[in-house]
Amino acid sequence: MEKDQCSVPDENLNENSGSSRRDFLKKSTFLSAIALTPVSLVTAAEKEMDEKLAAVFEKVPLKLEINGVKHALSVEPRVTLLDLLREQLQLTGTKKGCDHGQCGACTVHVNGKRQNSCLTLAVMHDGKKVTTIEGLANGADLHPMQEAFIKHDGFQCGYCTPGQIMSAVACIREGHANSETEIREYMSGNICRCGAYPNIVNAITEVKNGGQKV
Amino acid sequence: MNQFQYVRATTAKTAIGALVKDPSATFLAGGTNLIDLMKNGVTAPQKLIDINPIPLTEIRKQSNSIYIGALATNTDVADHKLVLQNQPLLSLALNAGASAQLRNVATIGGNMMQRTRCFYFNNPDLPCNKRQPGSGCGALEGYNRMHAIFGASPQCVAVNPSDMSVALAALDATVLISGPKGDRRILFTDFHRLPGDHPEKDNNLMKGELITGIEIPDNAFGKTVHYLKVRDRSSYAFALVSVAAALNIKNNTIKEARLAMGGVAHKPWRLTEAEKALVGKPATEATFKQAAEIAMQGAKGLKYNSFKLKMAPNTIIEALKTASGIA
Ligand SMILES: Cc1cc2nc3c(=O)[nH]c(=O)nc-3n(C[C@H](O)[C@H](O)[C@H](O)COP(=O)(O)OP(=O)(O)OC[C@H]3O[C@@H](n4cnc5c(N)ncnc54)[C@H](O)[C@@H]3O)c2cc1C
Ligand code: SF4
Ligand code: FES
Ligand code: FES
């Protein structure tokens, strides 16, 4: 019973050591209680809150240039750059993996520098230039890094790929693609569940050695 | 994430004024820790004061030190010529932390203020004295593999997760602070606190105070430094144990030594006694072993982290070997 209710990741706990597991569960029973609170109750409470707060927490005007297109927007302060791109501007090429800075799927360039769009608020970027995976190609011509990922099979499911490519382009621009070891270190902020790493490294190495402008 | 108000401050004075006026407000720098915590519901400030417009990004040489503004990013500092030349240990430690994407936005001030990665702290449904004083410490008898072996209290056994701070503690840095009552300076080693009976306080910054920068005194360590970080994977993970080591060796005799450890205590753990034991000795593995033994005096393991009692001295020895070039 207890086992089924525990939604805490515990791969590091020894399944056979009953006592340690129970110790852990003792601390986490509260979690089960929360998880079981009827959804209707939670949303009702939230709704009331939202109405009261709407007047106080106003939207903030925001100017952004995204992939060369200027936008004059109005956003709630709590909206992350990632959610703005995906949910308000329908630029869904940038992916949400973990939403906590741990996977790199959401990597974009802001004023030419790569960063995780999930851990930054859109309103922090007033007046800045954002490039997403949609802005990398030149019309119908793919960016050399996109070509190289295709050529080297730098992906399987493709979910991490937009982030990998944005990061890979930055990795070369920063001058951190001089060896396989260096590429691996400076690409470590992009996790690939499919394990396409060797092919990704090959793609980056080829673009780097090809000397094209990235 | 909860709703909050968002304001931008363009001067230190307005930022401090805004924070003093509104106790529910918090400074926002790179946001890589704060926004994460807000998403998890660990903290819910009603107002964010974005301090990024304040001109505090400068890195410059002073007469006997290097000054680094609190809003300089981890990347800008790690790659800066002055830092690489004069304080390479700081570059090594910064580059050992997080990922390239995160370092591009994480600031020096935010890095030293980052909260513990204790699993219980980061989950508001679990007990934690640091997040909610009096609720108990989930980690003390719980799953405490990442936790402290030095300076813990029954109230909290968390560790400080910052790599940068370990190097700054070793390098005798000073924190520059502005507050409603004016400016003050704190030695980096006095900035963070041990948990004692008040684990809710990570450091000695007072309400309304803004970190404006750090100063690192010049030294004679040159390139005889090393930052060794041991973790569950080779990159993009927090330290199990880390060691910042700096040596000044003349004619194979150690003239000066600086040592600090990360991942072992609630604050960067400076190893003053071990440093003393190194001075005057030849730079050999035997000397380093002896220093590591001294460093470990008073260490205490918990149920799941006793491996650190062995890993820590080994990391000290390896860091010293690499720094001195005898590895
Ligand atoms: C997936 C992941 C992995 C990571 N791995 C590592 C790692 O291996 N090693 C490591 O060291 N770190 C690591 N980090 C943490 C990272 O270094 C910090 O999140 C970052 O340094 C915080 O800086 P920031 O500018 O983004 O701070 P923010 O998130 O903006 O702020 C953090 C706190 O500091 C306060 N603050 C910020 N600036 C000031 C100031 N000038 N004066 C007073 N208060 C201030 C804020 O109010 C807030 O409470 C990791 C983070 C993530 C998400
Ligand atoms: S170790 Fe500290 S941070 Fe972790 S649960 Fe205990 S009180 Fe909280
Ligand atoms: S979604 Fe941003 S890092 Fe995972
Ligand atoms: S290709 Fe599937 S996660 Fe990378």
Chain A: residue whose CA lies nearest to B34? A119
In whole angstroms, what separates CA B37 from the centre of its chain? Answer: 18
Of the candidates B157, B198, B127, which has an alpha carbon nearest to the alpha carbon of residue B301?
B157
Closest Cα in chain B, distance from residue A76 (Å): 8
Nearest to B125 among A13, A34, A190 (CB): A34
Nearest to B235 among A10, A119, A185 (CB): A185
∠ CA A157-A98-A158 to the nearest 5 degrees? Answer: 15
Q: What interface predicted TM-score (ipTM) does this complex get?
A: 0.97
Q: What is the pLDDT along chain A (214 residues), one digit of tens a residue?
A: 333 333 333 333 333 333 343 343 334 433 333 333 333 333 334 444 444 444 456 899 999 999 999 999 999 999 999 999 999 999 999 999 999 999 999 999 999 999 999 999 999 999 999 999 999 999 999 999 999 999 999 999 999 999 999 999 999 999 999 999 999 999 999 999 999 999 999 999 999 999 888 9
Of the candidates B241, B250, B326, B255, which has an alpha carbon nearest to the alpha carbon of residue B288?
B326
SS3 B197: coil
- Are A183 and A204 contacting, i.e. CB atoms less than 8 angstroms apart? yes
- Are B58 and B67 contacting, i.e. CB atoms less than 8 angstroms apart? yes
Closest Cα in chain A, distance from residue B204 (Å): 27
* Tokens, residue B186: 């704190």
Q: What is the pLDDT of residues B60-86, one digit of tens each?
A: 999 999 999 999 999 999 999 999 999
- B212 half-sphere exposure, CB direction, 13 A CA radius: 18
Positive or negative torsion for Cα A118, A120, A124, A127: negative
Q: What is the best residue among B13, B26, B33 to mutate for testing ligand 1's pocket, by most ligand atoms within 8 Å of CB?
A: B33
Residues of A in contact with B30 (CB under 8 A): 120
CA dihedral B121, B126, B132, B137 (to 10 degrees): -80
pTM value surpassing 0.95: no
Would you call B39 and A99 a contact, using CB atoms and an 8 Å cutoff?
Answer: yes
Residue A128 DSSP symbol: E
- Are B248 and B224 contacting, i.e. CB atoms less than 8 angstroms apart? yes
- Class of B225-324 in CATH: alpha beta
d(CA B51, CA B110): 11
Of the candidates A101, A131, A116, which has an alpha carbon nearest to the alpha carbon of residue A214?
A131
- Give the β-pairing of B25-28 and B174-179: unpaired
Of the candidates B254, B97, B269, B255, which has an alpha carbon nearest to the alpha carbon of residue B188?
B269
Query: B184 CB contacts (<8 Å, ≥6 apart)?
Result: B177
- Are A161 and A155 contacting, i.e. CB atoms less than 8 angstroms apart? yes
User: Residue ranges per domain, chain B?
Assistant: 5-52, 225-324
Query: Which residues are bridge partners to B246 per DSSP?
Result: B225, B258
d(CA A35, CA B269): 39
Query: A177 CB contacts (<8 Å, ≥6 apart)?
Result: A171, A183, A186, A204, A205, A208
Low-confidence ranges of chain B (pLDDT < 70): none
CATH topology of domain B5-52: 3.30.43
Of the candidates B160, B116, B115, B155, which has an alpha carbon nearest to the alpha carbon of residue B136?
B155
pLDDT of residue A52: 44
Would you call A77 and B5 a contact, using CB atoms and an 8 Å cutoff?
Answer: yes
Residue A85 DSSP symbol: I
Would you call B126 and A80 a contact, using CB atoms and an 8 Å cutoff?
Answer: no
Domains, chain A, ordered by start: 3-46 (no CATH), 60-135 (3.10.20.30), 144-210 (1.10.150.120)
Residue A60 dihedral angles phi and psi, to the nearest 5°: -115, 135
Q: What is the pLDDT of residues A59-93, one digit of tens each?
A: 999 999 999 999 999 999 999 999 999 999 999 99
SS3 B104: helix
pLDDT of residue A57: 65
- Are B97 and B91 contacting, i.e. CB atoms less than 8 angstroms apart? no
Closest Cα in chain B, distance from residue A3 (Å): 16
Of the candidates A130, A163, A136, A66, which has an alpha carbon nearest to the alpha carbon of residue B100?
A163
pLDDT of residue A25: 37
Residue A33 dihedral angles phi and psi, to the nearest 5°: -60, -45
CA of A13 to the centre of ligand 3 (A): 26
pLDDT of residue A56: 52
Nearest to A189 among B35, B125, B236 (CB): B236
pLDDT of residue A24: 39
d(CA B156, CA A8): 21
Query: A36 CB contacts (<8 Å, ≥6 apart)?
Result: none
Would you call B5 and A57 a contact, using CB atoms and an 8 Å cutoff?
Answer: yes
- Are B163 and B239 contacting, i.e. CB atoms less than 8 angstroms apart? yes
Of the candidates B103, B101, B96, which has an alpha carbon nearest to the alpha carbon of residue B75?
B103
